[in-house]
A and B are shown apart, each in its own frame.
Chain A
Amino acid sequence: MQLWEVFVRARAGLHHQHVGSLHAVDAEMALENARDVFTRRGEAASIWVVPSAQIVASDPDDAGELFEPAMDKVYRHPTFYEVPDGVANL
């Protein structure tokens, strides 16, 4: 028995979202279990299942070096720039 993470795309156009995890012995069982457990109310157009051991996650202890530097680089945001009057399509 392995632990699997389940991702569901509600409908075309949206991302797959993580909805939880379940136990299964193989990918086919994981997919069917995911379908039975997470999509009974018409919540899915697509399912991904991934063995939990295959997920690579960032370490919360590294949050400082991974995520904080981005906070002060405001020039990545379009609103940082003033668009001169009279200029369109920018």
Chain B
Amino acid sequence: MSPTSDPAAPDIRVVADASFIASHRLTEWVSSAPTMEEDVAIANIALDLLGQARGLFGVLGDEDQLAYFRDASDWHNPVICELPNGDFGHTMLRQLFLDVWLSQVWPALADSDDETVRGVAEKAIKENAYHLRHSSAWVVRLGDGTDESHQRMLAALDELWPHSEAFASDAWYAAISQLLTDATLPPPPPRTRFDGERGNDAQHPWLPELLDHMQSLARAHPGATW
């Protein structure tokens, strides 16, 4: 079982980078969400994920060094996190995949020998429970909504599924299949582990462009304080 997909022994570098990049993609939605209420909701999730990433970055080193001065090849996030945003349904489905994975990962980290990691995990468990409510409710609404929303969710599932194996474990698959069924979306068969990309040592096709933008100001003034 790859380190990424074994929720019982999560690599905190992977969890930190996954949360950080996921937060960044959500941040791109702010001021463009379908409703004002959803702008507030998405910002809340992005803030929580950013906080979780910062908590783990603190264990790994200097948070700004890690965020702004690492090149793409040094990041450990699953590729699914860095995919450019699709439509709102695509974003909610991707978020659901991440939320289910984190709901299995954080309890394991709450058992960590490291006190700081334990602290981050305990807080994250509650935040994650709320995020999971939000993403699962949206996937169900849109999967089982109008014909158009259903079609869009099928398209999102098609695009995201091949990238999901970074999260895939039996527990993850069981939870996701149930949620997809509730959303009237047919759960695809589980990917065999190690097909195609593997999250933490795969290439990062979309990360260079993301980092190029995100790191641009910090890198333009190395050593500066903000």
Residue numbers of A with Cβ under 8 A of B are 22-25, 28-29, 32-33, 36-37, 40
Using CB atoms and an 8 Å cutoff, list the residues of chain B in contact with chain A: 35, 37, 40-41, 44, 133-134, 137, 141
CB distance from B144 to the nearest CB of A (A): 13
Kindly count the residue-residue contacts between A and B in the assembled complex, taking CB atoms under 8 Å apart: 22
A selection of 22 A-B contacts at a CB cut-off of 8 Å is: A22-B37, A23-B35, A23-B37, A24-B37, A25-B141, A28-B137, A29-B37, A29-B137, A32-B41, A32-B133, A32-B134, A32-B137, A33-B37, A33-B40, A33-B41, A36-B37, A36-B40, A36-B41, A36-B44, A37-B37, A37-B40, A40-B44
User: Nearest chain-A residue to B138 (Cβ)?
Assistant: A29
Chain A residues, CB < 8 A from B41: 32-33, 36
Contacts of A24 in B (CB 8 A): 37
Given contacts A23-B35, A29-B137, A32-B41, 19 further A-B contacts (CB under 8 A): A22-B37, A23-B37, A24-B37, A25-B141, A28-B137, A29-B37, A32-B133, A32-B134, A32-B137, A33-B37, A33-B40, A33-B41, A36-B37, A36-B40, A36-B41, A36-B44, A37-B37, A37-B40, A40-B44
List residues of chain A with CB within 8 A of the CB of B134: 32
Name the residue in B37, B134, B137, B141 with the highest tally of chain A Cβ atoms < 10 Å from its Cβ.
B37
- Name the CB-closest residue of B to A30: B37
